[in-house]
Structures are given as structure tokens and as C-alpha cells.
Amino acid sequence: MLSIGAMSAAADAGLAVPDDLGLIGLNDMEMAGWTNINLTTIHQPFAAIVAGSIDLMVARLADPEAGAQVVLHPCHIVERGTLRALV
């Protein structure tokens, strides 16, 4: 939502996206793919993140002395129209 608001503010300021300003959003919400928005985003696997968080909390409750764990989830860019192509 913040990136979509930034697109609106850029237009109000007379800036063209992506010519004058490049934008990328997070979470790849459905609205980002609408034709009038066409926002490049980073897609995050929410279901896996939530399930993994629950697993970590349950494991910590079972063993409060266990060390911290780092869990990385693969994300990817969904290319749309708010970034210029690299030259």
C-alpha cells in the first residue's frame, strides 16, 4: 500500500514512474497486478513464513533453553512496470 501511495504522490509531483522514479513494493498483493498500478513487487511465501513461525514458537515452548534459529524463506521479484530495464 505504501508503494501505491508513493506512485500517487509521484504523479501529483509531476514525476513519471519508472522514468523519473523507480518503485518496488513488498508482499505482491493482488492490487499490485492491476493494469492501472502495475507495481513491481517482492513476493514472500506467507503460508510458509507463518507455519515456520508457529513451529519455532512450539519448539521454544517445548525447550526454552534451545538456541535461536534462523530460517530463510525464498522470495522472488514479480516484474511489472515500475522499474526501468537495466541497460
42-72 pLDDT tens trace? 999 999 999 999 999 999 999 999 888 999 9
- pLDDT value for 85: 85
Which residue, 29, 44, 52, is CA-closest to 74? Answer: 44
25-37 pLDDT tens trace? 998 999 999 999 9
Residues 38/55, Cβ–Cβ less than 8 Å = no
Residue 79 has pLDDT above 90, yes or no: yes
37 backbone dihedrals φ, ψ, rounded to 5°:
-105, -55
Q: How far is CA 19 from CA 5, 12, 36, 44, 73, in A?
A: 17, 15, 16, 27, 32
Residue 86 has pLDDT above 90, yes or no: no
